[in-house]
Structure 1
Amino acid sequence: AVGIGPFVVGPVIERRIGVGNYAALGIDAAEWRSAEWAHQRGLYAELQPDGAALDARLATLARQLAASNPEATTAMKRAFWQGTEHWPELLAERARLSGTLVVSGFARQAIERLSS
């Protein structure tokens, strides 16, 4: 760990998996989580066993979306993201925090250790 934290991507991940799971990821950042772990907690809608299955699923989904009413799709997207109107300011604030932390002595030493 380099000592900066997932501040910029955090709001999106927290929204998908909940505060508790997001906190577990942030606090225990050195522990790897599997795709199954992420799927069980809602980060992924579904898993595919290999690249060919993923390609097939994406092609099916693309056809379904292309056949959907674009106005309804737009309305659903707006509804899905309701409550995120403050995110431009939040993400800018989080980016500033990440920028401050990445130039800290702790982060510089950690990055130096990793690059050695």
Structure 2
Amino acid sequence: MATNRPNGSIYTKIDKNIATIEFGHPASNSFVAEMLDRLTDEFNKLASNTSISIIVLKSEGERAFCGGASFDELLAVSTIEEGHIFFSGFANVINAMRSCNKVIVGRVHGKTVGGGVGLAAACDYVFATVNAPIRLSELTIGIAPLVIEPAVERKIGVAAISEMSLAPTAWKNAYWAQEKGLYSKVFETTNELDDEMYFFTQKLASYNTEALAEWRKILWKNTDHWSTLLSERASITGRLAISEFTKTALSKFKK
């Protein structure tokens, strides 16, 4: 059942040594600042839970996986500082996922835009359906995918992120995302996805927790500077977000 709360929802369920975080928002599972803060806190809290070895990240409903940043909150941004604070939300989530000592498995069941692509990229292994195309639409509203770029480029490379971002109105299908390395497995239906993901996570959770944590450090090597980098990128994006171009573009989208 999808949430109708304007501030969205973050819900965590723990079953043995697997934690499942489910987020939701009535506007295509987009993120308001409060949700981003709560999601960051949830990853940090689970990182310190020694009984957990695997985290599954999923969203509510059957349509979009994630619509990116909240247009309403973007429209409300009026200063560079407010913009920096808002985009730091995505920076903080990605950094919390990056520094987490648990393997993170993503479940992407539907369309994914902007910051949602960044969340998928920050997962270690991603299950998706054929109904999960991706798009980086930031340039259409006067900003750029600066904050999520390090995570997305790490997965799909410079050429693919260039191809996506410079054609911001074009969708890339799930098989393209798999070919480039964002998705690990693609299924025809969510039932197939859930069955396979269940077996995968159960198997993964049976492995040595310490070995998984040590291996994850290697997979995320050379990213320690992201704490500073993503904050700097949030400042630049915040400045772009208060431009006349962005305000006009967002107003048109709202109408």
Give the 4+ runs in structure 1 shifted more than 2 A.
Answer: none
Which SS does the other structure have where 1:18 is aligned? Answer: helix
Compute the displacement of 1:75 (Å): 0.9
CA distance in 1, matches of 2:180, 2:238: 29
- Residue 58 of structure 1 is matched in structure 2 by 197
* Structure 2: distance between partners of 1:14 and 1:3: 21
Aligned to 1:9: 148
1:1-116 aligned within 5 A: 1-116=140-255
What is the root-mean-square deviation in Å for CA atoms of aligned residues?
Answer: 0.9
Gaps of 5+ in 1: none
Please give the per-residue CA displacement for 1:44-65, whole angstroms capped at 9, x wherever unaligned: 1111111111111111111111
Q: TM-score, normalising length from structure 2? A: 0.44
Q: What amino acid does structure 2 have at the position aligned with 1:51?
A: T
Question: Which protein, 1 or 2, shows the higher relative CO under an 8 Å CA cutoff with sep ≥ 6?
Answer: 1
Higher strand share: 2
Deviation at 1:115, TM superposition (A): 1.3
**Which structure features the higher share of helix residues?**
1
Task: Report the 3-state secondary structure (helix = DSSP H, G, I; strand = E; otherwise coil) of the residue aligned with 1:101.
Answer: helix
TM-score by length of 1: 0.95
- Deviations along 1:30-86, one digit per CA (max 9) or x if unpaired, are 111111111111111111111111111111111111110111101110000001010
Secondary structure at the residue paired with 1:47?
strand
Cα drift, residue 88 of structure 1: 0.8
Structure 1 CA distance for aligned equivalents of residues 236 and 186 of structure 2? 33
